[in-house]
Chain A
């Protein structure tokens, strides 16, 4: 079982809540603790002085005094906030297209800022492609099987239906990859994983990957938990509850995804009709003298309505749907972790039974059964801790996601309202 070299930061609900979600609206109400250049404030040593950024690496705008002071207030009021524990910041940005003879692909810049001892330098900037993220995720699953690994955006896209190189697709993917790394960064155990470290720092990731492949031939961690063949009699209540929860959760999210898609479809069909509707008023305006102004006016309003509606549908497609799908993938991978846990417990119980059947006097519990017991207990503990963290993050994520959805609809109506006024 992994053990964190540092004590778990008070990463309970509060400090995670302060993290702005990529979908957050422009309002600053959800901005987390920020650092101001005010000399009065004692800046913890652990934060790099030069870069003033929010915990997740987004640079903060301190140009206006108002924003600085409000941020300062936030800092002072929030006692629970442990700024010092924030010592790793990762960002994904700057997508670039690479055209080679064999293939065309996109790379993203992954920037790391840290004061952790595990890193040789305080700053790194590397370029990674989707494959690399996929590799990282697999490695994490292998090496940290007792933990919940965040999901990646979908790997395969139907060619011809979706343009892999369109701005919208690339941006949607970038946001998802950024979220992926941030979730790992926030995890007290995963963030210290050596593969993660290499992913963030290595100049030549492919060389490292090849190394890893060679090592695989040796009996490595990846084999450890593939116990196979053991069947669990019954899942303990609390894990059964988690399993049930995840089942219903995925189901409901699936329904919401379908509803959202349906709405977007209906909106686009509405848009088609509106596009024919507006110009008819214009045509009529051409016929009239006194009425031409109001008629042209209505025509223009309808045109603006079309633009606003287009924006709304685009936003929902690019921001809302991907997050839903991410969570469905998350739930799926979590269910797999639950199954692995079942396996580990089954192995332990089977071995325990085997020992009991031997009927020795004062049976010594053999060490390998003890190890199994340890494994089960660690797995359970890790899983429970991760679940709690997951539940809180999920709550925040959905809160922001749904608020964002509401906001976009509000903005749509405001735009239309204004044009008719």
Chain B
């Protein structure tokens, strides 16, 4: 991470704004725009602040950027974007994209995305990325001009490869399984966590009812009245405290979500490998069959069943001139094929090498980040307990004065 952009530049997504405009089909729509601010990190020691550059981007532009990066750097585990639609919600959270809490969490997620890309040794050097940060106008055209969409592999092709590849690198196969399992376990975790949050919310809120009834009860009591009344107040405080607690927990959930989506990025690298490997195997197979064909033509023996062989039996053999011509064509193709195979092999090996390097980097990052997330979760739980102890101790004191 020596020379990455993140070290040279401060990047923040500082604001979000609702906008209305006309889209490509000239239909009025409402969307949210996010303000990206950047500032060079150089002369801060002298107390000078470098000027801040800023521009507005919407979510779809972030998506475009990420698609570009995924296609252009298929061997890199590209950082994921925050979710498009609110998922894993529990009843109090809104599933509405326009909800201010959702927008706020998305803003943080987008900033996180930019920081991840900016701290990646390879990705941070990309000029399109730089332009995304610095150049408001004409950026879309710039991206499209790269023609990256053409390089994108079709999903169908990738699926086909998954099923038919014969000798993928074992490490990638394992990694593929790992990322599948990771996706599954984190999804499960997030689903259950949402239910847990829902129930916990219920428990706290019902305690608020004590506040009201203690107050009403205290009205008919003489000596007990004050104690009951003030204890009731603490019950209200208790019931209200859950809102902040669960909001904090949402951040934890977001951290887990990032890695849920990262698992998908990991999967994408594996898929690319499978595709390349499949391509390689197909090319090798093609070459072998061509060589065989050549041999057959040359020696006149038919080793394998072929339509050509059948038709020649039925309709008579071809002339020696025809055969010579065919052999020549085949020999050319074989030579081409061998060169292609060589370069594909090289490509494949390079891919595996650089992909694996990034995967190692990713693993370290993942272990570090998730460990921190788990620790912060424990800290959150402790803080929640401490608040609980505080409130009930206060209530107890009020009861003791009854």
Q: Pick the contact of B389 from A252, A402, A414 — CB < 8 Å?
A: A414
Chain B residues with Cβ below 8 Å from A245 are: 220
- Which residue from chain A places its CB closest to the CB of B375 in the assembled complex? A294
Size category, A interface: 35 or more
Q: Is B310 an interface residue (CB 8 A)?
A: no
User: How far does the alpha carbon of A263 sit from the alpha carbon of B385 in the complex, in Å?
Assistant: 18
Q: Is A407 an interface residue (CB 8 A)?
A: yes
User: How far does the alpha carbon of A269 sit from the alpha carbon of B196 in the complex, in Å?
Assistant: 9
**A267-B389 in contact (CB<8A):** no
User: How far does the alpha carbon of A103 sit from the alpha carbon of B52 in the complex, in Å?
Assistant: 88
**B206-A259 in contact (CB<8A):** yes
9 A-B pairs in the complex with CB atoms less than 8 angstroms apart: A252-B213, A262-B206, A263-B206, A269-B202, A273-B195, A273-B199, A277-B189, A287-B185, A406-B393
Chain A residues with Cβ below 8 Å from B375 are: 294
Chain B interface residue count, Cβ-Cβ cutoff 8 angstroms: 48
Chain B residues with Cβ below 8 Å from A274 are: 196
A259 to chain B, nearest CB (A): 5
Interface window among B152-160, B353-361, B376-384: B376-384
Q: Is A350 an interface residue (CB 8 A)?
A: no
Q: Is B328 an interface residue (CB 8 A)?
A: no
Chain B residues with Cβ below 8 Å from A124 are: none
CB-CB contacts of A254-291 with B at 8 A, as 1s and 0s? 01100100110011011011101100110110011011
Interface window among B58-66, B135-143, B277-285, B394-402: B394-402
Chain A residues with Cβ below 8 Å from B181 are: 287
User: How far does the alpha carbon of A297 sit from the alpha carbon of B370 in the complex, in Å?
Assistant: 13
Chain B residues with Cβ below 8 Å from A273 are: 192, 195-196, 198-199
- Which residue from chain A places its CB closest to the CB of B238 in the assembled complex? A409
Q: Is A169 an interface residue (CB 8 A)?
A: no
Q: Is A217 an interface residue (CB 8 A)?
A: no
Across chains A and B, which 3 residue pairs bring their CB atoms closest together, nearest first? A406-B396, A270-B199, A417-B385
Q: Is A116 an interface residue (CB 8 A)?
A: no
Q: Is B367 an interface residue (CB 8 A)?
A: yes
Q: Is A208 an interface residue (CB 8 A)?
A: no
- Which residue from chain A places its CB closest to the CB of B198 in the assembled complex? A273
With A287-B185, A416-B385 already in contact, the answer to whether A402 and B402 are too (CB < 8 A) is yes
| Sample of 19 more A-B contacts, CB < 8 Å, known A272-B199, A407-B396 | A252-B217, A259-B213, A273-B192, A280-B189, A283-B188, A284-B182, A284-B185, A287-B178, A287-B181, A291-B370, A294-B371, A295-B374, A297-B378, A398-B224, A402-B399, A403-B399, A412-B388, A417-B386, A421-B382
User: How far does the alpha carbon of A287 sit from the alpha carbon of B181 in the complex, in Å?
Assistant: 8
Q: Is A14 an interface residue (CB 8 A)?
A: no
**B393-A248 in contact (CB<8A):** no
Chain A residues with Cβ below 8 Å from B207 are: 263
With A287-B182, A395-B223 already in contact, the answer to whether A259 and B196 are too (CB < 8 A) is no
Q: Is B216 an interface residue (CB 8 A)?
A: yes
**A406-B385 in contact (CB<8A):** no
Chain B residues with CB under 8 Å of chain A are 178, 181-182, 185-186, 188-189, 192-193, 195-196, 198-200, 202-203, 206-207, 209-210, 213, 216-217, 220, 223-224, 227, 231, 367, 370-371, 374-375, 377-378, 381-382, 385-386, 388-389, 392-393, 395-396, 399-400, 402
Q: Pick the contact of B374 from A259, A294, A410 — CB < 8 Å?
A: A294
With A274-B196, A402-B402 already in contact, the answer to whether A395 and B224 are too (CB < 8 A) is yes
**B392-A413 in contact (CB<8A):** yes
Q: Is A420 an interface residue (CB 8 A)?
A: yes
Chain A residues with CB under 8 Å of chain B are 245, 248-249, 252, 255-256, 259, 262-263, 266-267, 269-270, 272-274, 276-277, 280-281, 283-284, 287-288, 290-291, 294-295, 297-298, 301, 395, 398-399, 402-403, 406-407, 409-410, 412-414, 416-417, 420-421
**B385-A281 in contact (CB<8A):** no
**B392-A409 in contact (CB<8A):** yes
A252 to chain B, nearest CB (A): 4
A265 to chain B, nearest CB (A): 9
User: How far does the alpha carbon of A294 sit from the alpha carbon of B402 in the complex, in Å?
Assistant: 45
**B378-A291 in contact (CB<8A):** no
**B382-A417 in contact (CB<8A):** yes
**B188-A280 in contact (CB<8A):** yes
With A266-B203, A287-B185 already in contact, the answer to whether A395 and B402 are too (CB < 8 A) is yes
**A413-B388 in contact (CB<8A):** yes
- Which residue from chain B places its CB closest to the CB of A281 in the assembled complex? B189
- Which residue from chain A places its CB closest to the CB of B396 in the assembled complex? A406
**B389-A410 in contact (CB<8A):** yes
Chain A residues with Cβ below 8 Å from B189 are: 277, 280-281, 284
With A277-B196, A291-B371, A409-B392 already in contact, the answer to whether A420 and B217 are too (CB < 8 A) is no
Chain B residues with Cβ below 8 Å from A255 are: 209, 213
**B202-A270 in contact (CB<8A):** yes
User: How far does the alpha carbon of A245 sit from the alpha carbon of B221 in the complex, in Å?
Assistant: 9
With A277-B192, A280-B185 already in contact, the answer to whether A410 and B178 are too (CB < 8 A) is no
